[in-house]
Amino acid sequence: MTAGEAVSRLESGMTLGIGGWGSRRKPMALVRALLRSGITDLTVVSYGGPDVGMLAAAGRIRKLVAPFATLDSIPLEPHFRAARERGALELMEIDEAMFMWGLHAAANRLPFLPVRAGIGSDVMRVNPGLRTVTSPYDDGETFVAMPALRLDAALVHVNRADRRGNGQCLGPDPYFDDLFCEAAEAAFVSCERIVDTAELTKEGAPQTLLIKRHTVTGVVEAPGGAHFTSCAPDYGRDEARQKEYATTPWAEFAERFLNGPDNGPDAEGT
Amino acid sequence: MTATRSEHCVIACAEAWRGAGEILASPMGLIPSIGARLARLTFSPDLLLTDGEAMLVGVDGTVEGWLPYRQHLTLVTSGRRHVMMGASQIDRFGNQNISCIGDWEKPKRQLLGVRGAPVNTLNNPTSYWVPKHSLRVFVEKVDMVCGVGYDRAAGARHHRIPRVVSDLGVFDFATPDHSMRLASLHPGVTVEEVRDATGFALTIPDEVPYTREPTPVELRLIREEIDPADTRAREVPEEAKT
């Protein structure tokens, strides 16, 4: 399917998980399609990067669940910052590990998982809904009961996939993309290249086949689909474009990003 | 050869990992990274280091293992790690903030977010590096507690903040109530200078030692092997001495 077709399966008000990490292997072609759609009022669950920044700048996020938002080489995400300083979005600010265990809980159909992280910190103050749980064993330690981060849909971008939804991460870090798919009702995987199933084991070891087709709803071929974030080993981050993103007023950048000559390979068919 | 201020900072950071054994050194920031590599090349040869991404590497970059984020988070909870984080604010009991300045609901200045500070401080030794010691950083009360301090860590069995290193000196929490103490001054810095740049009452021992000098071998390693481009001087300029 195209990015536009994938996004046509989404609805306003959904809880949407976005894969990658910071400014690394973000499903930017899918984010672009989302920005072109009228979908809004989203709860976005993300190890935040420019995906969060752009959706926040466009006013599509009602609530954000994240431990951070960063552009990595530019530490502070400008549009996330601006949205926060305007008080424009609700935030569930949690620790990186709490976030991971929230996805694990959802993937395992558990209501929560105990985590040590969060105790004593202001994560508890700013999330008054968080509860603790005490170990029933001799240690008696008290943990945060990290609630499952169940997703209506997940958007991730990987290096290769077959048409059935088997996804392959060829870079050094798979991040948490398989978990996002497992935690979601529906998952849309974009990839640099769709290959025949038999090709998958030729380019990488079996351990690179992290995303399984039973967790995937649709596959989108989107070469350059993580641009301007990195997509190792296919390409690194486009630092010049990222800098332009960080320093250009959003309306102006959005015009170029969504409608300009560099609007990406998914432009046709949307 | 006289060591510069930035080189004293490197030594003070490296010392955080002395005697740490076979654990992961996670330095965040330039001078802590130089310090961790120096420790590994000298007195703490069993330390594990990463390339800042997903690989465990030697000082020369030789890959010896794989540590993607998901495994890194497990390593954190195993406790076999000593991280040195940055701090936009830090208070008398070692509470640290990198999330936002002002009211959390609508911050005056949004920063990174809590990142992994809560999981780090509850699970493995966490030290801090502050390249510019000032009243803005060393505050009476942080606006958002990301890294947990001693006054909020009651019962947290794996909580420990071994040290805070700034461009002025080294600080620890070796006081009866675990409030911050001046442990050493970098050569050229005075107690008054530290007091003036700190927004809360520090414990100051009668005799404050100076941060130790690097050995000739250490100085050679810093200047010729680890940081020949002298990037450390950009993080802590020599003018800081006055």
Helical H segments across chain A, by residue range: 3-8, 28-36, 50-57, 78-86, 96-107, 123-126, 177-182, 200-203, 239-247, 250-259
Q: Do A85 and B146 touch (CB under 8 A)?
A: no
Chain A residues in contact with B123 by the CB 8 A cut-off are 116-117
Strands B81-85 and B24-27: what pairing? parallel
- How deeply is A213 buried, as exposed, middle or buried, from its count of CB atoms within 10 A (0-12, 13-18, 19+)? middle
Q: How many C-beta atoms surround the C-beta of residue B196 within 10 A?
A: 12
Dist CA A33 CA B118 (whole Å): 35
Name the closest residue on chain B to residue A179, using Cα atoms: B70
Cα separations in angstroms, B189 against A96, B86, B167: 37, 21, 9
Task: Give the minimum alpha-carbon distance from A263 to chain B in angstroms, rounded to a whole number.
Answer: 29
Chain B residues in contact with A84 by the CB 8 A cut-off are 100, 106-107, 110
Q: Do A173 and B53 touch (CB under 8 A)?
A: yes
What is the helix (H) or strand (E) element at residue A152, kind and residue range?
strand A151-161
Mean per-residue pLDDT of chain B? 96
Name the closest residue on chain A to residue B72, using Cα atoms: A97
Note the pLDDT of residue A270. 38
Which residues, including other chains, have CB under 8 Å from residue A42's CB and lie 6 or more apart?
A12, A13, A14, A15, A16, A55, A60, A61, A62, A63
Dist CA B161 CA B83 (whole Å): 10
Name the closest residue on chain A to residue B112, using Cα atoms: A68
Best residue of B70, B72, B126 to probe chain A, by most A CBs closer than 10 Å:
B70
Q: What is the ipTM of this complex?
A: 0.95
Say if B61 is an interface residue toward chain A (CB within 8 Å). Answer: no
Q: Do A115 and B53 touch (CB under 8 A)?
A: no
* Amino acid letter for position B56: L
Helices B30-41/B5-14 angle, 10° precision: 60
Q: Which residues partner with B169 through β-bridges?
A: B185
pLDDT digits (tens, 9 = 90+) for B126-168: 999 999 999 999 999 999 999 999 999 987 999 999 999 999 9
pLDDT at A219 > cutoff 80: yes
Tokens at A8, concatenated: 């046509």
pLDDT digits (tens, 9 = 90+) for B89-120: 999 999 999 999 999 999 999 999 999 999 99
- List the 74-113 stretch of A: residues with Cβ below 8 A of B: 75-76, 80-81, 84-87, 93-98, 100
Note the pLDDT of residue B242. 47
Which residues, including other chains, have CB under 8 Å from residue B159's CB and lie 6 or more apart?
A120, B121, B122, B148, B150, B153
Mean per-residue pLDDT of chain A? 95
Sequence-distant contacts of B57-62: CB under 8 A, at least 24 apart: B59/B225, B59/B226
Say if B79 is an interface residue toward chain A (CB within 8 Å). Answer: no
pLDDT digits (tens, 9 = 90+) for B60-91: 899 999 999 999 999 999 999 999 999 999 99
By 3-state DSSP, what share of chain A in percent is helix, strand and coil, each rounded to 5?
30, 25, 45
Name the closest residue on chain B to residue A140, using Cα atoms: B155
Chain A residues in contact with B119 by the CB 8 A cut-off are 95-98, 115-118
Dist CA B65 CA B44 (whole Å): 19
pLDDT at A267 > cutoff 70: no
Q: How many C-beta atoms surround the C-beta of residue B233 within 10 A?
A: 14
Name the closest residue on chain A to residue B111, using Cα atoms: A76
Which residues, including other chains, have CB under 8 Å from residue A58's CB and lie 6 or more apart?
A35, A250, A254
How are strands ordered across the β-sheet holding B81-85? Answer: B24-27, B81-85, B126-130, B164-166, B169-172, B181-185
Confidence grade of residue A263 (pLDDT, cut at 50, 70, 90): low
- pTM, rounded to two decimals: 0.96
Task: Give the minimum alpha-carbon distance from A113 to chain B in angstroms, rounded to a whole number.
Answer: 14
- List the 101-140 stretch of B: residues with Cβ below 8 A of A: 104-119, 121-123
Q: Do B158 and A116 touch (CB under 8 A)?
A: yes
Q: What percent of chain A has pLDDT over 90?
A: 94
- List the 133-192 stretch of A: residues with Cβ below 8 A of B: 141-142, 172-176
Chain A residues in contact with B54 by the CB 8 A cut-off are 172-173
Determine the 3-state secondary structure of A252 from DSSP: helix
Task: Give the minimum alpha-carbon distance from B39 to chain A in angstroms, rounded to a whole number.
Answer: 26
Residue B181 phi/psi, 5° resolution? Answer: -130, 145
Chain B residues in contact with A183 by the CB 8 A cut-off are none
Confidence grade of residue B241 (pLDDT, cut at 50, 70, 90): very low
pLDDT digits (tens, 9 = 90+) for A170-180: 999 999 999 99
**Do B49 and B38 contact (CB within 8 A), yes or no?**
no
